[in-house]
Amino acid sequence: MIQIYHNPRCGKSRNCLAFIEQSNQEFEIIPYLTETPSFEELKKLLKQLNLEPIQLVRTKEKVWIENFKGKTLNDDQIVSAMIENPILIERPIVVKDGKAIIGRDPEVVASFLD
């Protein structure tokens, strides 16, 4: 089953969800802002995405700039920052068959779902 870590206030996330709905595949919506992944879940997502924690951070978010920019943080501290402030997590994340992508580009999502 497909999972989408979704922020309904984000246009890219809404577009990705609409694309998944049109694929006629079974999916689950994870509203990560209110159902924040645990530390272990986020580490697993990072592994599935094949990304370092900082690569999943929305570094232009106000909370990042005000609280974390310019600080030296290790990977676990970055993951913790995303859990404490889920708005920092890049979106949308699409998971299928143990792999994941950031679904901002419809063409990438299309090939991932095939």
CATH number of domain containing 59 = 3.40.30.10
Catalytic option among 2, 10, 83, 87: 10
Into how many domains does the chain fold?
Answer: 1
| Rg of the chain taking only CA atoms, in angstroms | 14
Tell me the mean pLDDT in the region 20-49. Answer: 97
Helix (H) or strand (E) holding 79: helix 75-84
Q: Quote the pLDDT of residue 61.
A: 97
Q: What is the residue range of 30's domain?
A: 2-113
- 91 close to 6: Cβ distance less than 8 angstroms: yes
For the whole model, what pTM was predicted?
Answer: 0.94
For residue 106, pLDDT over 90 is answered with no
DSSP label at residue 35: S
Q: Quote the pLDDT of residue 35.
A: 96
16 part of the active site: no
For residue 25, pLDDT over 90 is answered with yes
Tell me the mean pLDDT in the region 81-102. Answer: 98
